[in-house]
Amino acid sequence: MIRVVLSGFNGRMGTLIAKTVAAADDMELVGGADPLAATDAVEVDGVAVAPAFTDLAHALEETRPDVLVDFTTPSAVEGNLRCALALGIDCVVGTTGLAPERLEELAASAPAQTTLFHAPNFTLGAVLMMLFAEKAARYLPDAEVIEFHHNGKKDAPSGTAVATALRIAAARDEAQVQSGAPGKETESPGREGARGANVAGVPVHSVRSDGFFAHQEVVLGSAGETLTLRHDSFDRAAYMPGILLAIREAGRRSGLVIGLESLLDL
């Protein structure tokens, strides 16, 4: 059995992850951590399934899990990972906001054979969209990313949008193609931001409205044509298969592992 502690169990995503892990035949939810925890137990459908802690260090000390799953906030995730990795606990992270070099530093600080797995998105469709956009950018170099999320989204642009833009930029550089898309220099005075965020030379636009859940478009173009790739997530259930896969694979890997595609035969 894979022993799991869930950091951020009190949130909407955490609630579903707790239920999913508790139902898995090869996993045991041994604890949950959340500074806002109002009870002493993690509950699934009103039934206590694991002890709850307000302090992650205490939770890890008491439960000694194999894997920490972190879906918290950008301000909390680094401290959580430092705490778990120092103990040789594998980490599966869906919280975005950490720079690649910081992830590398965190992974390097852990004991040998410890895994830090990070994915900007755990849905298969989003992973495929990023891979397709990367391939298309070699041939259609003008590219922009538009992402749509609910008002409760804590970062802008999203981790998925940033990851997509970086893949597009790398593919264009590899193909030695320069994009003709205008950048920040074309913005009218007093209208800064019209071209969106510049992520490695790729414009990224973030839309926030409670009419959305999690959606992304990549618009690519060349002379006389465009290609639009779009992925839509309508429910947090879409993330669960990817999260379970990452938990199962964490013990079979070591070091820093980035992206769900690293675990798939794609």
- Alpha-carbon distances, residue 98 vs 62, 81, 90 (angstroms): 27, 11, 17
Active-site residue, from 58, 118, 153, 184 = 153
Helix (H, G, I), strand (E, B) or coil at 155: coil
What is the C-alpha separation between 129 and 163, in angstroms, rounded?
11
What is the C-alpha separation between 161 and 155, in angstroms, rounded?
11
State yes or no: is 205 an active-site residue: no
Q: How many CB atoms lie within 10 A of CB 75?
A: 10
State yes or no: is 149 an active-site residue: yes
Active-site residue, from 118, 149, 205, 231 = 149
The radius of gyration computed from the CA coordinates of the chain, to the nearest angstrom, equals 20
- Four-point Cα dihedral 243, 248, 249, 253, nearest 10: 120
- The catalytic residue positions are 149, 153
